[in-house]
Amino acid sequence: MGIFANLFKKNSDNAAKTVGSVEDFVLLTRVYFQAVIAVNLGITNIRIIPDVAQFKRLFKIPTQGGKLGLAEKSAARKMLMQDYGISENFFKEIDNSVKKNCRTQNDIQSYLFMYQGFSSDLMMLMGNLMQWKFRVPTMFRNALRSMTAKTVHDVCTKNVWKKDDVHKTAMAVKQYKERLGYSEEWMTEYVYNIVLLAKKEPKSKDNEATKA
């Protein structure tokens, strides 16, 4: 698909210095997921983990110790921490979730599918619930993070929502959360970073028209 080639339009000399977009962040997170799976399950067929394969080729990452995933996991983790300020606990929760839910190669596709559903529904729901809060100036980061944390907490604890579509999505997110094993803190960090990145991206006229 060449996704990384399009999103990471960087030369090898400045790749580590350039902070990417929402897509970059989401894809780097997926690379980390897949690399953890590769390490845990001893995967040798790189086709099973396509995002890692493209990441590996793009940044010319050599296989470490003859074990696929080790170097890629470290590189993705380093980028996420340096470029986006991601915390140690963020990675620990991913490690624990993968360990709990992805025990054999037969679990890989179902796990990644479940995570994708969780991520998509979570962001759709947060966009619906926060709306005007997303327009808070970036300079008020602490306030924006607090608002994000409060909304995530509501999603995880509130059992009834007025709108049917919101209620349905919120219940789905709660189920995903329990099955995957993520905390409110992890969800807050994930959503908050995506919101910050989205606010920095130029909005096209088409996007504005869609929102209207």
The full set of domain ranges for the chain reads: 1-86, 105-182+191-202
Average pLDDT over residues 99-128: 92
Handedness of CA 31, 34, 40, 42 (dihedral sign): negative
Most confident of 136-150, 166-180, 195-209: 166-180
Helices (H), the chain: 3-7, 22-41, 50-58, 70-84, 88-101, 108-130, 141-157, 164-180, 184-200, 205-211
Share of the chain above pLDDT 70, in %: 81
What pLDDT score was predicted for residue 210?
Answer: 39
Looking at every residue in the chain, the average pLDDT score rounds to 84
This prediction's pTM = 0.82
Average pLDDT over residues 105-131: 91
pLDDT above 60: residue 10: no
CB-count burial class (<10 Å; 0-12, 13-18, 19+) for 190 = buried
pLDDT above 60: residue 17: no
pLDDT above 70: residue 169: yes
Average pLDDT over residues 121-126: 92
What is the rounded distance in angstroms from the CA atom of residue 155 to the CA atom of residue 122?
Answer: 9
Residue 8's pLDDT band (boundaries 50, 70, 90)?
A: very low
Query: Quick check: 43 and 37 in contact, CB under 8 A?
Result: yes
Residue 198's pLDDT band (boundaries 50, 70, 90)?
A: confident
Residue 36's pLDDT band (boundaries 50, 70, 90)?
A: very high
pLDDT above 50: residue 182: yes
